[in-house]
């Protein structure tokens, strides 16, 4: 905030509000038009405010929210208890409703929080990713003398380097994911359905305390679909299997990928997948503080480029990971801020405690596809691997080498 000359930093997207406040707002996740804000002003009193709907009173007091200056909007009446004893959450929710600032709409709370700090003429960065152009215009009209600037890129910048707690969650998420997929892959055999593996993966994730988020699993020609849907396709001997999977643990994500052969792979399949597995390992060897993502990209791509694969190219070979599956930095040769990612570049290189994924793959349309992906944390001297599954293409070897993951 000092770097950007800010008095206040406002979060509006579900990810950024969660990151800023530890507030899990179910309404915010399921209703994309709903507005929830957090306001962070370390140089003023109060330090932070949360603007949330009355519907979510219980979630605020029953969760991990650390902010106590709260603006409540969109009245959601509860029936009176008529003298009956309330549970702890009910009592705390009633007390919060009595102590909170009551406003009509979320935007009213945001404006009031800024004005209460005397920042009507301050410099405020607002996360534009969760605000419609209409609401952005309304905020500017309500605060005509305030220097309001876009803030999402600043949140991205803050989120690039992880805290100790974030890294702990990421480690657990990756561990759960690999254990779940290894258990699910025991069901993979000729005659089984792809959906059997997907359903078992999701069951295992839930059993270990995670939340299933995505399980992209395909066999045979469906491995060529970059993001395949769940299918009842029956597996056949000799099929390639490809997974690209993730879960969340305490709101932090995992993401990794492998290709495995359900039978004897062809020489071509071995050459292609071995090239991607080698490229990932070569790229991982470069990960350390100060490393240039462009060099990491080139290393990940080099072995497969030597094969002369037709129409082989990728915009990126990796990404940061955290409270979103895709955080910066993006491992690319291009400027990610001017791409579909709209994320800040990392011109000064990697930093300790960044969590990144390295990935590379190739899709032969309608025939077969390849992807290899690992998750790492940048340490002071190199990197720590969070994913450990085998990169063997042979099913039996993969299962044996991944058994202790």
Alpha-carbon distance 28 to 13, whole Å?
A: 8
Extract the tokens encoding 260: 């495995």
CATH number for 285: 3.90.230.10
Q: Which of 34, 6, 28, 27 is nearest to 15 (CA)?
A: 28
Domain closes at, from 117, 134, 159: 159
Residues 93 and 152 in one domain: yes
Domain closes at, from 126, 159, 192: 159
DSSP state of 76: -
Residues 264 and 382 in one domain: yes
Residues 149 and 220 in one domain: no
Residue 141 lies in a domain: yes
pLDDT in tens, the chain (405 residues): 999 999 999 999 999 999 999 998 888 888 878 899 999 999 899 999 999 999 999 999 999 999 999 999 988 999 988 989 999 999 999 999 999 999 999 999 999 999 999 999 999 999 999 999 999 999 999 999 999 999 999 999 999 999 999 999 999 999 999 999 999 999 999 999 999 999 999 999 999 999 999 999 999 999 999 999 999 999 999 999 999 999 999 999 999 999 999 999 999 999 999 999 999 999 999 999 999 999 999 999 999 999 999 999 999 999 999 999 999 999 999 999 888 888 988 888 999 999 999 999 999 999 999 999 999 999 999 999 999 999 999 999 999 999 888
| Half-sphere CA count of 397, side-chain side, radius 13 A | 11
CATH number for 31: 3.40.350.10
What is the predicted pLDDT for the residue at 319?
97
Judged on CB neighbours under 10 Å (0-12, 13-18, 19+), 82 is: exposed
Residue 1 lies in a domain: no
Residues 61 and 86 in one domain: yes
Residue 19 lies in a domain: yes
Residue 346 lies in a domain: yes
Residue 210 lies in a domain: yes
Residues 213 and 152 in one domain: no
What is the predicted pLDDT for the residue at 331?
97
Q: What is the domain count for the chain?
A: 2
Residue 3 lies in a domain: no
What is the predicted pLDDT for the residue at 267?
97
Range of 124's domain? 8-159
What is the predicted pLDDT for the residue at 109?
98
Residues 142 and 236 in one domain: no
Alpha-carbon distance 96 to 71, whole Å?
A: 10
DSSP state of 86: P
Residues 155 and 178 in one domain: no
Residue 233 lies in a domain: yes
What is the predicted pLDDT for the residue at 405?
81
Question: What burial letters (b/e) apply to 4-26, b meaning 16+ CB within 10 Å?
Answer: eebbbbbbbbbbbbbbbbebbbe
What is the predicted pLDDT for the residue at 339?
87
Extract the tokens encoding 294: 């462009």
What is the predicted pLDDT for the residue at 378?
98
Residues 277 and 240 in one domain: yes
What is the predicted pLDDT for the residue at 204?
98
Residues 231 and 296 in one domain: yes
Domain closes at, from 100, 134, 159: 159
Residue 2 lies in a domain: no
Residues 182 and 223 in one domain: yes
Residues sharing a CB contact under 8 Å with residue 177, sequence separation 6 or more, in sequence order: 205, 210, 245, 246, 247, 254, 256
Give the N- to C-terminal CA distance of the chain in Å, as an integer.
41
Residues 155 and 179 in one domain: no
What is the predicted pLDDT for the residue at 116?
97
What is the predicted pLDDT for the residue at 33?
82
Alpha-carbon distance 367 to 291, whole Å?
A: 36
pTM of the model: 0.95
Please provide the DSSP assignment of 192-214 as one string. Answer: -BHHHHHHHHHHHHHHTT-EEEE
Residues 89 and 169 in one domain: no
């Amino acid at each position: 905030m000092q770097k950007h000359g800010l008095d206040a930093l406002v979060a509006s997207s579900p990810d950024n509000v969660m990151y800023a406040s530890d507030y899990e707002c179910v309404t915010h996740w399921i209703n994309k038009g709903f507005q929830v804000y957090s306001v962070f002003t370390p140089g003023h009193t109060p330090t932070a405010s949360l603007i949330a709907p009355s519907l979510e009173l219980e979630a605020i007091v029953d969760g991990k929210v650390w902010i106590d200056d709260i603006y409540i909007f969109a009245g959601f009446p509860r029936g009176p208890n008529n003298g009956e004893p309330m549970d702890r959450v009910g009592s705390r929710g009633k007390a919060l409703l009595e102590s909170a600032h009551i406003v009509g709409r979320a935007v009213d709370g945001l404006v009031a929080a800024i004005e209460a700090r005397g920042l009507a003429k301050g410099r405020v960065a607002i996360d534009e990713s969760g605000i419609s152009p209409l609401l952005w215009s309304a905020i500017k009209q309500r605060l005509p003398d305030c220097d309001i600037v876009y803030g999402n890129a600043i949140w991205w910048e803050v989120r690039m380097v992880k805290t100790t707690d974030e890294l702990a969650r990421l480690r657990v998420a990756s561990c759960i994911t690999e254990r779940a997929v290894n258990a699910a892959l025991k069901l993979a055999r000729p005659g089984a359905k792809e959906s059997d593996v997907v359903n078992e993966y999701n069951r295992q994730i839930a059993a270990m305390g995670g939340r299933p988020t995505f399980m992209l699993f395909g066999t045979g020609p469906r491995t060529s679909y970059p993001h395949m849907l769940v299918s009842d396709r029956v597996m056949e001997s000799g099929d390639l299997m490809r997974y690209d999977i993730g879960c969340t643990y305490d709101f932090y994500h995992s993401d990794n990928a492998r290709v495995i052969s359900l039978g004897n792979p062809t020489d071509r399949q071995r050459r292609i997948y071995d090239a991607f597995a080698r490229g990932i390992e070569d790229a991982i060897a470069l990960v350390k503080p100060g490393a240039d993502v462009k060099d990491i990209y080139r290393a990940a791509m080099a072995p497969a480029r030597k094969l002369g694969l037709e129409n082989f190219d990728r915009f990126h070979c990796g990404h940061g990971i955290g409270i979103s599956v895709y955080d910066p930095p993006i491992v690319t040769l291009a400027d990610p801020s001017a791409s579909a990612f709209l994320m800040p570049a990392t011109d000064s290189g990697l930093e300790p405690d960044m969590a990144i994924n390295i990935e590379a793959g190739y899709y032969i349309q309608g025939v077969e596809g390849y992807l290899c992906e690992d998750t790492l944390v940048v340490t002071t001297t190199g990197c720590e691997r969070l994913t450990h599954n085998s990169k063997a293409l042979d099913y039996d070897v993969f299962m044996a080498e991944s058994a202790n993951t």
